[in-house]
Structure 1
Amino acid sequence: MHEDTHLLADTVKKAAREAGALLAKGYSGIDRVTFERKGASDFVTHYDQSAERLIIDYIRQHFPAVGFLGEESGASPAHNSNVTVIIDPLDGTNNFLHGVPFFSVSIAVEQNNELIMGAVYHPLLDELIWAEKGQGAYLNDYRLICPSACPLTEMLVATCLPYHGKGDCDLSIRQQAAIMPHVSGIRSPGSAALEIAYVALGRFDAFWSQGAKLEWWDVAAGILIAQEVGLMVTDIQGQAAPSCLENSLLIAPSQSHQQLHSLLDKA
């Protein structure tokens, strides 16, 4: 990879940590965090907005030409650059609002519409899960290896669930009903970026989502991390085109992926 790409990756990781420190400080506050309603079951806090501004300003200091796609600020076009930084400054806002300690900073980088870097940071645990295309995936400085597939009956599977005003509840219920009798557990802790990264870490055995309404900034960083550790990443139909993966996603070791795909296909 080009030297500038490594420098951009280091800058992204530092930006994620800086934004995470801001979120951790807000989370530790005694008072309940105030928020605004963007839409049905869609909330934004001062911390979402401040963390995104921090990330953009920090990266722009070092790479002024790159473009940005942020959950809060929208798209900012690049200037003579084919690089776009994709930001979810607080993935798991609802958890953050309720004092649930499961949220993350998620930053991905695309070059010519191809993912080349991803970082997901859990500030409360100081865990940075990251990857560069062709260079593997890491937890802080420890290189990850692909988790082994386990029998369906031993699998702990993560998912994102739809809820009020967001997603297809009926489809999600059918998919859960298809999987539940075959696995040891299903979890929906509330941060898609972290859930996907946790599959790369082996903490979850797989991740799927279709009924929930996800956006590209929710999943882009996690997708590259999963790919770089050697997991199979497709939509529910088994296709790997990145353009469709935010709305339909299945991530698992190859053997488990085939088994889960067969179950979900019946739903």
Structure 2
Amino acid sequence: MTDPTSPTLITTLQRAARAAGEILCEGYGTTDAIDFECKGASDFVTHYDQAAERTIIDIVHRAHPEVGFLGEETGTTPAQAGNVTVIIDPLDGTNNFLHRVPHFSVSIAVREGTTLTHGVVYQPLLDEMLWAIRGQGAFLDERRLPTPPAKPLTEMLVSTSLPYHEKGDCATSLRQLTALMPEVAGIRTPGSAALEIAYAGLGRFDAFWSQGARLELWDIAAGIVIAREAGCTVTDLAGDPEPANWESLLVARPERHAELQRLLIETP
């Protein structure tokens, strides 16, 4: 049975992420238009998403045959034994990928029961591996992430996921965006939530929030582990730390989390 504390598990996840990243880089580098299908409103899938997810499942299953899977493209595969589930978003940022915007990632997390224990977010174009194990810190490649001091609100660069088309609550996002814009140094919506949540742990962003956008567990699970292990507070806007209940998300240094929370939830 897979032991979530075993060092072989994170090594397997990283190997799977790199293999998936190779597939994505191959697709990104093609000169022809990338074929895609619509799963729903503004919800696209390509051959590369599907191939990357199959590759991740194959690599992890060979090393840990008893684990279950929750994949964006393949759905739920129950565990053969135990209660460990590998949560996969093989291409977080498909819209960017389709438009040749160089900001997307492979996201893989592990959940033991209801507890997120491992997170890997890999940016294949930069060959950057962000990863964390619960209770053991967060890392960029082999370098442990330091805990930088919290900046004042007026110096913060904040990332978000905004809704669009028929996907989410545009009115709520716009109200919160309007409240935050005069208070911070900048707001960005790059288009890969997994990567941006992990970047909040790395310090490239000072916070990440989202409410109107529909973020699934596979979009955020790996980033949550990394951000928490890097010293961020991660909850929904009501302060609930349990992801299964969330319809919003706020990631920030502890010194700024409550301040941002009040600003966002008190939006008229």
Q: TM-score with structure 1 length normalisation?
A: 0.97
Q: How does 1:46-85 map to 2 (within 5 A)?
A: 46-85=47-86
Corresponding residue number in structure 1 for 2:234: 233
Corresponding residue number in structure 2 for 1:173: 174
Corresponding residue number in structure 1 for 2:124: 123
8 A contact 2:161–2:189 mirrored in 1: yes
Corresponding residue number in structure 2 for 1:21: 22
Distance 1:194 1:256 in 2: 21
> Which runs of 5 or more residues in structure 1 are unaligned?
none
Q: Which amino acid aligns with 2:262?
A: S
Distance 1:222 1:156 in 2: 18
Deviations 1:30-82 (A, max 9, x none): 11101000000000000000000000001111111110000000000000121
Corresponding residue number in structure 2 for 1:10: 11
Distance 1:4 1:177 in 2: 43
> Which runs of 5 or more residues in structure 2 are unaligned?
none
Q: SS at the partner of 1:181? A: coil
Distance 1:27 1:161 in 2: 24
Distance 1:27 1:174 in 2: 35
1:101 correspondence with 2:128: no
Q: Which amino acid aligns with 1:255?
A: E
Question: Displacement of 1:240 after TM fit?
Answer: 1.0
Corresponding residue number in structure 1 for 2:256: 256
Distance 1:147 1:231 in 2: 10
Distance 2:101 2:149 in 1: 30
Q: Which amino acid aligns with 1:124?
A: L
Distance 2:3 2:65 in 1: 18
Q: How does 1:69-218 map to 2 (within 5 A)?
A: 69-218=70-219
Distance 2:107 2:74 in 1: 15
RMSD: 1.2
8 A contact 1:178–1:266 mirrored in 2: no
8 A contact 1:160–1:190 mirrored in 2: yes
Question: Displacement of 1:127 after TM fit?
Answer: 0.3
8 A contact 2:201–2:226 mirrored in 1: yes
Question: Displacement of 1:148 after TM fit?
Answer: 1.7
Distance 1:258 1:192 in 2: 21
8 A contact 1:71–1:87 mirrored in 2: yes
8 A contact 2:70–2:85 mirrored in 1: yes
Give % identity.
Answer: 61
Distance 1:41 1:109 in 2: 27
Q: SS at the partner of 1:165? A: coil
Corresponding residue number in structure 2 for 1:243: 244
Q: Which amino acid aligns with 2:228?
A: Q
